[in-house]
Chain A
């Protein structure tokens, strides 16, 4: 049994920096696997990105309010079903139709929308306004949009890990912008040590987690935000009010796969500190939260 070597590949995609670490016999195999994974990631973006006009999501969004319904593939259908469960379990707060709210929030210009702007756009938000009759999907209100941005990295991490496993890679991990799915532990069966970014100190790590398997995802108020008059406005928007959440500094969740970890972390942020903590305890997942005062609570 020849020795496996660790290969690390860094790359940019999905609007951030990413990393693939995998153990393989030689660089040729590692490189070939990496290429396969990156090709799949590119296919994923082609299919789900609302920025690509040819994507399935863009087609569905373009047909919003019209009497056209789009045929979706099995994977997208299962994803839609999954987002419905998330929407139900979060009392309507985790909502893939809330992406349109970004149109009235300008994070670069530090602009807060007026109540009129919000009132005009809120009617376009709501999972219940999606007409989902498997395998056909359409959006009932003109201007409505599906946005998988909130689950893209987590889903992609799981998908790439699965592809690596199908290609005989048994040890490694996928890290897409901090959302991680482990392919398998180190060849000596030891677990990976992963650092959780400090939500306030750039470049610093607030905690370390050792994991042999599973997914880890973090949601926080520091990824995209602006501060105005001492108040922080982050990119996680409540789909019912249109306003950013007033919540933890960051929430990290460990689960069997990155998708579940990610949606649980985001849902916790959306629910706020009190309801969010209760939600995490109810769910019985492993977690680490940093509250508004910087205090750490873990499972």
Chain B
């Protein structure tokens, strides 16, 4: 689907514990009596209500001609309900305007006819925490003029007593409905099932490694109703493997994140993503987070730019997003901690996509270079639900 601002949605990030307190707590927990007094359930359930509001804007260009512009607000909240349950919820609303990439679309000619769309959606998760595991139930919906999606997930986490190993196992079910504004007779759907399993392991006092494997099976309508000659298979099996490493930098109290993701599916499309980002506190209140990502994608089996397509082809699509290309993106997040409970952040990102950037080089001469940027401004506020201080006299 069209690029979503939702991809850059961040749940209100808890400010990481300073290293001084971390060291002090670690030394205290090394004392057997103190370790025996730890309340695991209390640690897992947040004691504060965290609320986040952000407003983002996304624009892309093709050969410096403006294409899609998406903008809108997003709100999220995490709050404890009892001493062992908590709720996560989020909502977004965005308006989309512009034209999809030039070529081979019934809606766009040489210059591209404009589109206007509104998207809205949200999700709610309820999590119950126990001594050594947690169970969550979540549901999400999103809708726009020609596409509606509903999903449900069960998420579980298990951890060892020392919390050095955390296992995750999630199951999901979803159903999407596809219509088309240029074809009132079109009413299709697709269903998907997903499974995610992963482990997060503390390697030593300075680093953490996370490995995730996910599988998604979909059945139903996958074609793009706005594109001529777009006929995609009725099923799609997707697999992804993610490895993520976090290194804590004690001299700055920051951290360095490195991600590698490999993806392949039953359409023959495969991709790899390399991402590195540095969380760097500059002062007690200010931090910067530069990031760099390289993405390379190999085309789907039935991707073809022949116009008109070969008659013998069972499936065909000239959708740029199924083609071969590479993308480089650079981002920067600036965070300002106004007080212990309020922080402001600004995220800027620019990406550049072209066939030639793909590993092994791309050959699709018709795919124009494509670039875009994100600007997201947000604020996060914490309300200590339990802890409150009322002074009797000042």
- Do the beta carbons of A78 and B340 come within 8 Å of each other? no
- When distances are taken between beta carbons in the complex, the residues of chain B under 8 Å from A299 are 340
- Do the beta carbons of B20 and A282 come within 8 Å of each other? yes
Contacts known (A213-B39, A260-B28, A282-B18); A208 close to B392, Cβ less than 8 A? yes
- Say which residue of A85, A207, A208, A214 sits within 8 Å of B24 (CB atoms): A85
How many angstroms between the C-alpha atoms of A296 and B392 in the bound complex? 11
CB distance from B284 to the nearest CB of A (A): 7
How many angstroms between the C-alpha atoms of A166 and B37 in the bound complex? 8
Contacts known (A165-B37, A282-B284); A288 close to B27, Cβ less than 8 A? no
Nearest-neighbor residue (CB-CB) of A214 within chain B? B42
Whether A209 is near chain B, meaning CB under 8 Å from some CB there, is yes
Interface size classification for chain A: 35 or more
- Do the beta carbons of B34 and A259 come within 8 Å of each other? yes
Contacts known (A166-B36, A207-B390); A213 close to B24, Cβ less than 8 A? no
Whether A96 is near chain B, meaning CB under 8 Å from some CB there, is no
- When distances are taken between beta carbons in the complex, the residues of chain B under 8 Å from A207 are 389-392
Whether A155 is near chain B, meaning CB under 8 Å from some CB there, is yes
Contacts known (A161-B37, A162-B37); A78 close to B30, Cβ less than 8 A? yes
- Do the beta carbons of A296 and B394 come within 8 Å of each other? yes
Which listed segment binds B: A13-21, A64-72, A181-189?
A181-189
Interface size classification for chain B: 35 or more
Whether B83 is near chain A, meaning CB under 8 Å from some CB there, is yes
- Say which residue of B27, B36, B37, B284 sits within 8 Å of A85 (CB atoms): B27
Contacts known (A89-B23, A284-B15); A209 close to B37, Cβ less than 8 A? no
How many angstroms between the C-alpha atoms of A145 and B33 in the bound complex? 24
Interface residues of B in 1-24 (CB under 8 A from A): 15, 17-18, 20-21, 23-24
- When distances are taken between beta carbons in the complex, the residues of chain B under 8 Å from A198 are 392-393
- Say which residue of A205, A284, A295 sits within 8 Å of B392 (CB atoms): A205
Nearest-neighbor residue (CB-CB) of B83 within chain A? A189
CB distance from B237 to the nearest CB of A (A): 44
Interface residues of A in 251-298 (CB under 8 A from B): 254-257, 259-260, 263-264, 281-286, 288, 295-296, 298
Interface residues of A in 156-207 (CB under 8 A from B): 158-159, 161-163, 165-166, 181, 184-185, 189, 191, 198, 204-207
Nearest-neighbor residue (CB-CB) of A85 within chain B? B27
- When distances are taken between beta carbons in the complex, the residues of chain B under 8 Å from A191 are 386-387
How many angstroms between the C-alpha atoms of A159 and B394 in the bound complex? 35
- Do the beta carbons of A158 and B42 come within 8 Å of each other? no
One digit per residue, 1 when the CB lies within 8 angstroms of any chain A CB and 0 when it does not, for chain B 77-121 equals 000001100000000000000000000000000000000000000
How many angstroms between the C-alpha atoms of A74 and B23 in the bound complex? 19
- When distances are taken between beta carbons in the complex, the residues of chain A under 8 Å from B20 are 89, 282-283
Nearest-neighbor residue (CB-CB) of A204 within chain B? B392
Whether A79 is near chain B, meaning CB under 8 Å from some CB there, is yes
- Do the beta carbons of A82 and B28 come within 8 Å of each other? yes
One digit per residue, 1 when the CB lies within 8 angstroms of any chain B CB and 0 when it does not, for chain A 210-223 equals 11111000000000
Interface residues of A (CB under 8 A from B): 74-75, 78-79, 81-82, 85-86, 89, 155, 158-159, 161-163, 165-166, 181, 184-185, 189, 191, 198, 204-214, 254-257, 259-260, 263-264, 281-286, 288, 295-296, 298-299
Interface residues of B (CB under 8 A from A): 15, 17-18, 20-21, 23-25, 27-28, 30-39, 42-43, 47, 82-83, 284, 340, 384, 386-394
